[in-house]
Amino acid sequence: MSTCSPHLRSASVPYCYLAELTCSGSKSPFWSKAKTERGRQRAQTRPMGFTMSLNFLLLVAVGATNILSLYHLSSTSFFLRPKAPTTPPPVPDHLVRQLHTIRATFSHLTRFHPAQKTPISSAPSDLLSFSRISPIASPCHDYPELLYQYMNYTPWSLCPKDDAHIAESLILRGCHPLPRRRCFSRTPLSPKRSDPDSNVIWSSYPSSCKSFKCLNPKLGFDFSTQNFMFYKSELDLTIPQLMDIAKRANSVIRLGIDIGGGTGNFAVAMRQRNVTILTTTMNFGAPYSEANAVRGMVPLHAQLQQRLPVFDGAVDLVRCGHAVNRWIPVPVIEFLFSDMGRMLRGGGFLWIDHFFSKEVDFENLCKPLIMRLGYKVVKWATGQKTDTSGIKNREVYLTALMQKPKSRCQLEQYNICLQTNSVSSSDAAQFYL
């Protein structure tokens, strides 16, 4: 039974009802309704908490994804980052020299063929007329220090003493022709033909040596011509044999050139047979040019890398001795032999005297290069080089006498037969008869 008063019931039904529930402990319909309402609220609250948790997890996932992406991009950029440049290997000297030569050639060509017209200079005409009196070779600009030493002189006075080695240093580096100078070259005070030592003016060689007699006779300073007169081995070719071969071939020898002829012994020996020989010389450690001049020979101060100042087809004989050997680069030898052929007339002779090289280089490089000229082989002899250097490097000697064809048709016919392997070396002579 309820203990709530009627007044309480009428004034506040819910409170009274709650009191009844408390007093009686019974479960009324109103209680059930309140419980249902609280359950609905809890049910609504539970999905909201789940949604917030899910959103938080998504936020964490997005953040982690961004962090991983940044890490991946940073690591990729690290691996793709260009490496620090390493020091390149050193460039060989011969390539550097060739590069300098090519650059100088381009500079020389662009100087004469400018890309666009240059404006007219405002310099006085009298200065322009003397601006390029004496042009110099392009490679000279690559060696300004040597060029400065060579051109450091007082005009209209004696040339600097012992500057020949500076001139040769420039020539060997491709600076040829040398620039002209306005100074007086040094000459002997009282030269005498009977006394060669009266012509001595050098001082850059051994200071104690002021005579040709104290120079090394093995270098040719014995002034003997007997080596060209007597036959000692298969590698030798004497002057009498050469003249006899030329006579039997109906060829005359009047003018020749001796490449690297040293002191001019060959030129002196040929002069006795009324043959004029020009000798190319360079003073490598000894006064070869002075020795030629003292003996009445003409020394051509020229290097092997340049085109020799001789007209095409003008000489009857070209001889090359020890100065021409395999230690010279192959391209230089190839151009040198081509220049020899340019100077030789049809029917002239090329004499390769004691050319030496390594045995493997001779078979693979030198022999094919020489045979490519297409000359008739008159003499071909090889032998071992028996000195210390020859034994150490396994070097061989070659002595060859070859005759240039008299006409281009003979040479072309000979080359065609060689390419088709229809002629042997022993039968090659028929194309020259």
User: What is the 3-class SS of 345-405, one letter each residue?
Assistant: EEEEEEEEEEEEEEHHHHHHHHHHHHHCCCCEEEEEEEEECCCHHHHHHCEEEEEEEEECC
pLDDT band at 33 (very low <50, low <70, confident <90, very high): low
Question: Is residue 355 exposed (0-12), middle (13-18) or buried (19+ Cβ within 10 Å)?
Answer: buried
Peptide bond into 206 cis (omega under 30): no
More confident residue, 264 or 10: 264
In this structure, of 131-140, 191-200, 264-273, the range with the lowest mean pLDDT score is 131-140
Beta bridge mates, 257: 278, 318
| Contact criterion met (CB below 8 Å) for 279 and 296 | no
DSSP state of 332: H
Burial classification of residue 170, based on how many CB atoms lie within 10 Å of its CB (0-12 exposed, 13-18 middle, 19 or more buried):
buried
Cβ atoms of 165 and 180 within 8 Å: the answer is: no
Residue 346 has a pLDDT of: 93
pLDDT over 60 at 118, yes or no: no
Across the range 316-334, mean pLDDT stands at: 89
- The mean pLDDT of 197-209, rounded to a whole number, is 75
Residue 249 pLDDT greater than 50, yes or no: yes
Is the pLDDT assigned to residue 110 strictly greater than 80? no
Q: What is the average pLDDT score of the chain?
A: 78
Domains of the chain: residue spans and CATH: 1-42 (no CATH), 225-432 (3.40.50.150)
The span from the CA of 182 to the CA of 154, in Å, is 8
d(CA 73, CA 135): 62
Q: Are the C-beta atoms of 219 and 260 separated by less than 8 Å?
A: no
Q: Is the pLDDT of residue 105 over 70?
A: yes
Is the pLDDT at 12 greater than 70? The verdict is no
Going by their DSSP bridges, the two strands 376-384 and 344-358 should be labelled as unpaired
Which segment of 37-51, 201-215, 352-366, 367-381 scores lowest on mean pLDDT? 37-51
Task: Assign residue 296 a region (left: φ > 0; alpha: ψ between -120 and 50; beta: otherwise).
Answer: left
Task: Flag whether pLDDT at 86 surpasses 80.
Answer: no
